[in-house]
């Protein structure tokens, strides 16, 4: 049965599809990712969450992470997505003493797991950018 509603894959913000959608990307300031650390257990999160995903404590303290990290996994994307034109590379990066975040690589290449990278900031759209250290 059709409800008349169409599926909608919206990006964060009203300009990207109508209603407000929370931005799932971490905020970047210079070479740091802004987030929180749980006051109870110390678990790091970026972006900030309303409670700790490990212990469910609501006590969160502001924290920043980076600039270094280690690639957990990466891939080279061959299809256009939004304003990104192929080829471009993305990677999950375990930030030093911080959370795992999704980042765009400054150069379009697959990077081996365990490779050290460094945050170089955010692009004009707010996506986290890293470069091989």
**Rounded average pLDDT over 97-116:** 95
pLDDT at residue 17 in the model? 56
Does residue 71 lie within any of the structural domains?
Answer: yes
Residue 89 domain-assigned? yes
Burial class (CB in 10 A: 0-12, 13-18, 19+), 31: middle
Work out how many domains the chain is built from and give that number.
Answer: 1
Could you give the C-alpha distances from 95 to 61, 68, 92, in angstroms and in order? 18, 6, 9
Average pLDDT of the chain is 87
The yes-or-no verdict on residue 1 having pLDDT over 50 is no
Domain that holds residue 119: 24-132
What are the tokens at 69?
A: 């990290």
Assigned domain for 11 exists: no
Q: Is residue 93 part of a domain?
A: yes
**Does residue 9 lie in a domain region?**
no
Q: Has residue 115 been placed in a domain?
A: yes
Does 71 have pLDDT greater than 70? Answer: yes
The pLDDT assigned to 77 comes to: 96
The pTM score is: 0.81
What CATH number does residue 28 fall under? 2.40.50.840
Residue 68 domain-assigned (yes or no): yes
- Is the model's pLDDT at 57 over the cut of 80? yes
Answer whether residue 3 shows pLDDT above 50.
no
Residue 125 domain-assigned (yes or no): yes
């Amino acid at each position: 049965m059709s409800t008349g509603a169409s599926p909608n894959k919206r990006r964060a913000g009203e300009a990207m599809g109508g209603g407000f959608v929370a931005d799932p990307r971490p905020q970047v300031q210079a070479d740091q990712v802004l987030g929180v650390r749980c006051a109870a257990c110390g678990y790091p999160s970026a972006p900030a969450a309303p409670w700790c995903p490990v212990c469910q404590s609501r006590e969160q303290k502001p924290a920043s992470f980076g600039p270094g990290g280690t690639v957990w996994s990466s891939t080279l994307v061959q299809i256009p997505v939004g304003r990104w034109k192929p080829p471009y590379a993305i990677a999950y990066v375990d930030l030093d003493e911080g959370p795992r975040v999704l980042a765009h690589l400054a150069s379009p290449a697959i990077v081996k797991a365990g490779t050290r990278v460094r945050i170089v900031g955010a692009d004009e759209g707010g996506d986290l950018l890293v470069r091989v250290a």
